[in-house]
Amino acid sequence: MSNLEDIGEFGLIERLTKGLKRSKQLKVGIGDDCAVFQLGDEQLLLSCDALIEGVHFRRDWASPEDIGHKAAAAALSDIAAMGGRALCMLLTLACPQNTDVAWLERLYQGVKALAESEHVAIAGGDTTASPDALMLDVTVVGVVTAHRPLCRSGTRPGDLIAITGYPGCSTLGLKALERGVDAPSHLREAHLRPRPKLLEGRYLADYPEVRAMIDVSDGLVQDLGHLARAGGVRINIETMRLPLHDDLVACAADMGLNPVDCALFGGEDYYLAFSMAPEQAEAMLEEVRRQLVLPVTVIGEASAGAPGVTVDGKKVVPGGYNHFQCPK
């Protein structure tokens, strides 16, 4: 008999969902950032994401507005990963009976502010009691606007692997918050107020050269692992090419942490990782960099081989966040 610690989050999902009947209209089912459902000419994107007190956030350093913002941002990030436009969201709140109402209003304000800034309607939800921890679950609905949804599958041997933004900032921001260490505010913000990369996702999905995409929520190595397995390719990351923010390097040194490990294994940055055809890649990236406010960096390459991720050509011990498996 196996327990959750043995099989982990992804083993559990596989076990529970084995043998599910596929409907014809369900173009992409379990295993991608969103499900894709064909409705007439439209392709709907559907996803949900839960945030649990004590697992994803702590009330002592995150404001209620931060928590609301992050719940909505994490859910919307999956729409971004498919290159979609977000339409609306539904918010389920499970609260302990003694929760302060003004505090909950502030949390909702965080959700509302992000929804407004991203032009996403709040269409409903559910409200219930919870025995001790606060829980939020955000369901998002979007629509594919490019010529196809950008799935996790599709990477081919020889493709380049690129990321938007700076990896590792969120995890370092979290470490600074946990240790009560002073850190540049953008590192703390990266953890408390991630921005879903909706604009960037839609922009990238318009390029036929871009073949697969994922949002990095559980760490670069782990999430590129999903891309590698979905595409049936090996992905090698070159650490020399990782865009390490100067503040990340300085702050990691102050805290005795390895900045490369933060970038490889740190989660919750919600930047996008994608693969693209190598032909014309430089010209395309030049254009993308001009249009996007974030840097876009090639960090590695895909090749034929056993699906998985290597770092500088070597196998790595799986890192990243996995519910039910305690960090060693």
Contact positions vs Mg ion (CB under 5 A): 33, 78, 215
Q: Do the beta carbons of residue 58 and residue 99 sit within 8 Å? A: no
Query: Is the Cβ of residue 183 or residue 221 nearer to Mg ion in the bound state?
Result: 221
Choose which of 139, 164, 171, 217 interacts with ligand ADP (CB under 6 A).
Answer: 217
> Which of the choices ligand ADP, Mg ion, none does residue 268 contact, using the CB cut-off of 5 to 8 A by kind?
none
For residue 193, how many C-alpha atoms fall within 13 Å in the half-sphere facing its CB?
13
The minimum distance between CB 263 and Mg ion, in angstroms, equals 18
Only one of the segments 12-20, 174-182, 196-204, 273-281 lies at the binding site for ligand ADP (rule: CB under 6 A); that segment is: 12-20
The pair of structure tokens assigned to 264 is: 């490889």
Number of Cβ within a 10 Å radius of residue 83: 29
Choose which of 4, 6, 15, 17 interacts with ligand ADP (CB under 6 A).
Answer: 17
300 forms bridges with which residues in the sheet? 161, 237
Choose which of 44, 49, 114, 155 interacts with ligand ADP (CB under 6 A).
Answer: 49
The minimum distance between CB 247 and Mg ion, in angstroms, equals 26
The DSSP letter of residue 241 is: G
Query: Is the Cβ of residue 173 or residue 320 nearer to ligand ADP in the bound state?
Result: 320
The pair of structure tokens assigned to 169 is: 């900032």
Only one of the segments 13-21, 143-151, 199-207, 294-302 lies at the binding site for ligand ADP (rule: CB under 6 A); that segment is: 13-21
Query: Is the Cβ of residue 70 or residue 184 nearer to Mg ion in the bound state?
Result: 70
Report phi then psi at 125, rounded to 5.
Answer: 160, -155
Cα(25)–Cα(2) distance, integer angstroms = 35
Query: Is the Cβ of residue 35 or residue 162 nearer to ligand ADP in the bound state?
Result: 35
Ramachandran area for residue 188 (φ above 0: left; ψ -120 to 50: alpha; else beta): alpha
Query: Is the Cβ of residue 17 or residue 185 nearer to Mg ion in the bound state?
Result: 17
Q: Do the beta carbons of residue 75 and residue 140 sit within 8 Å? A: yes
Query: Is the Cβ of residue 31 or residue 308 nearer to ligand ADP in the bound state?
Result: 31
Report phi then psi at 212, rounded to 5.
Answer: -155, 155
Pick from 149, 150, 122, 117: nearest CA to 138:
122
Q: Is 318 in the site for ligand ADP (CB under 6 A)?
A: no
The total number of residues shown for the chain amounts to: 328
Only one of the segments 29-37, 113-121, 160-168, 190-198 lies at the binding site for ligand ADP (rule: CB under 6 A); that segment is: 29-37
Binding mask 264-293 for ligand ADP (x = CB under 6 A): ------------------------------
Taking CB under 6 A as the criterion, which residues in 70-89 touch ligand ADP? 78
Only one of the segments 24-32, 59-67, 102-110, 246-254 lies at the binding site for ligand ADP (rule: CB under 6 A); that segment is: 24-32
Helices (H), the chain: 4-17, 64-81, 101-117, 169-179, 185-192, 198-205, 220-231, 246-254, 259-265, 281-291
The minimum distance between CB 191 and ligand ADP, in angstroms, equals 17
Cα(122)–Cα(116) distance, integer angstroms = 9
- Applying CB under 6 A, the residues found at the interface with ligand ADP are 13, 16-17, 30-33, 49, 78, 217-218
